[in-house]
């Protein structure tokens, strides 16, 4: 009965009028958060649920010791072309002091109304002098992923933040391409970030080791297989 209850909460929270809100309450040694935006960034920024549907929401329960559990639905499946997705997670996060901390946990991705295999992800993160480092291992229905992440927030030359992500993907079933097969590939990205007059500016370069006709086998994190430069400007109005 727990999952239907949580999904009901998500449905109640997923009101367009309550977009990007988090409601928080203390329950003894626990801190409960309900909201229509993800309440935490797991693995020190490596794993972060995204809001992809018009109706989304979730809850997060954290104990004073550092243990936490939660459930997030990035899509309730109520909009055309969107399927219900439920991300359930648990972990432990603990700072040693103001400069050092760590986090470990796992997240389970499920699609109750679609004939799609569930997937799991194990993650861990370390915070050191304001910089963040993380690693994750996930088994998607079609491949195994291993990811390394670094956010050098502790050292920002000229106020520019630098973050990097590198992932290897091992396909369970090789993909046929011109001249042979592709059974694995890697992709990576580098992001430069800087606030400017209230606007968050991001310059992102992404690429993979596939090119030409081999790109038909690409299904990684980046927007496309070949090298891509993206400039993003974002301003928060509330």
Range of the domain at 93: 1-105
DSSP labels for 49-86? ----SSS-EEEEEEETTSEEEEEEEEE-S-STT---EE
Res. 4: pLDDT tops 80: no
Report yes or no on 112 lying in a domain: no
Is there a single domain that holds both residue 64 and residue 147? Answer: no
pLDDT in tens, 131-142: 889 999 999 888
- Among residues 84, 105, 126, the one where a domain terminates is 105
Which whole number is the average pLDDT over 172-197? Answer: 91
Report yes or no on 3 lying in a domain: yes
Which whole number is the average pLDDT over 13-26? Answer: 59
Report yes or no on 129 lying in a domain: no
Report yes or no on 36 lying in a domain: yes
- Among residues 105, 132, 166, the one where a domain terminates is 105
Is there a single domain that holds both residue 155 and residue 237? Answer: yes
> Sign of torsion, CA 74 144 227 190?
positive
Report yes or no on 134 lying in a domain: no
User: Which of 220, 161, 212 minimizes the C-alpha distance to 188?
Assistant: 220
> How sure is the predictor about 113, in pLDDT bands with cuts at 50, 70 and 90?
confident
Q: What is the average pLDDT value for the chain, to the nearest integer?
A: 83
Bigger pLDDT: 12 vs 147: 147
Is there a single domain that holds both residue 2 and residue 100? Answer: yes
Which helix (DSSP H) or strand (DSSP E) does residue 11 occupy? Answer: helix 2-13
Res. 178: pLDDT tops 80: yes
Res. 145: pLDDT tops 60: yes
Report yes or no on 120 lying in a domain: no
Which whole number is the average pLDDT over 92-104? Answer: 89
Looking at residue 16, its pLDDT comes to: 41
Look at the chain and report how many structural domains it folds into: 2
- Among residues 105, 132, 156, the one where a domain terminates is 105
Which whole number is the average pLDDT over 98-114? Answer: 88
Looking at residue 138, its pLDDT comes to: 92
Res. 235: pLDDT tops 60: yes
Of the given ranges (62-66, 152-156, 159-163, 201-205), which has the lowest mean pLDDT?
A: 152-156
Is there a single domain that holds both residue 56 and residue 150? Answer: no
Looking at residue 35, its pLDDT comes to: 81
Looking at residue 12, its pLDDT comes to: 41
Determine contact, residues 238/222, Cβ cutoff 8 Å. Answer: no
> Sign of torsion, CA 189 220 216 203?
negative
Report yes or no on 118 lying in a domain: no
Looking at residue 51, its pLDDT comes to: 59
Residue with tokens 């509330």: 238
pLDDT over 70 percentage in the chain: 83
Residue with tokens 């946990």: 105
Is there a single domain that holds both residue 88 and residue 148? Answer: no
Report yes or no on 132 lying in a domain: no
Determine contact, residues 134/126, Cβ cutoff 8 Å. Answer: yes
Looking at residue 85, its pLDDT comes to: 85
């Amino acid at each position: 009965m727990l999952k239907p209850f949580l999904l009901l909460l998500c449905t109640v929270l997923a009101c367009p009028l309550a977009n990007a809100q988090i409601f928080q309450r203390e329950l003894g040694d626990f801190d409960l958060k309900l909201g229509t935006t993800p309440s935490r960034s797991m693995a020190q920024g490596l794993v972060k649920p995204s809001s992809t549907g018009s109706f989304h929401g979730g809850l997060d329960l954290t104990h004073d010791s550092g243990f936490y559990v939660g459930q997030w639905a990035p899509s309730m499946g109520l909009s055309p072309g969107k399927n219900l997705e439920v991300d359930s997670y648990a972990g432990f996060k603990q700072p040693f002091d103001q400069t050092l901390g760590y986090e470990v946990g796992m997240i389970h991705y499920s699609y109750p109304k679609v004939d799609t295999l569930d997937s799991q992800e194990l993650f861990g993160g370390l915070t050191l002098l304001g910089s963040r480092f993380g690693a994750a291992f996930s088994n998607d229905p079609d491949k195994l992923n291993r990811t390394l992440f670094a956010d050098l927030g502790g050292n920002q030359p000229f106020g520019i933040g630098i973050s990097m992500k590198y992932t290897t993907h091992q396909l369970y079933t090789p993909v046929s391409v011109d001249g042979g097969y592709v059974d694995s590939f890697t992709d990576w990205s580098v992001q430069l970030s800087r606030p400017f007059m209230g606007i968050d500016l991001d310059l992102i370069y992404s690429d993979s080791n596939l090119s030409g006709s081999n790109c038909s086998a690409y299904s990684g994190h980046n927007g496309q297989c070949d090298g891509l430069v993206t400039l993003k400007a974002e301003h928060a109005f509330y």
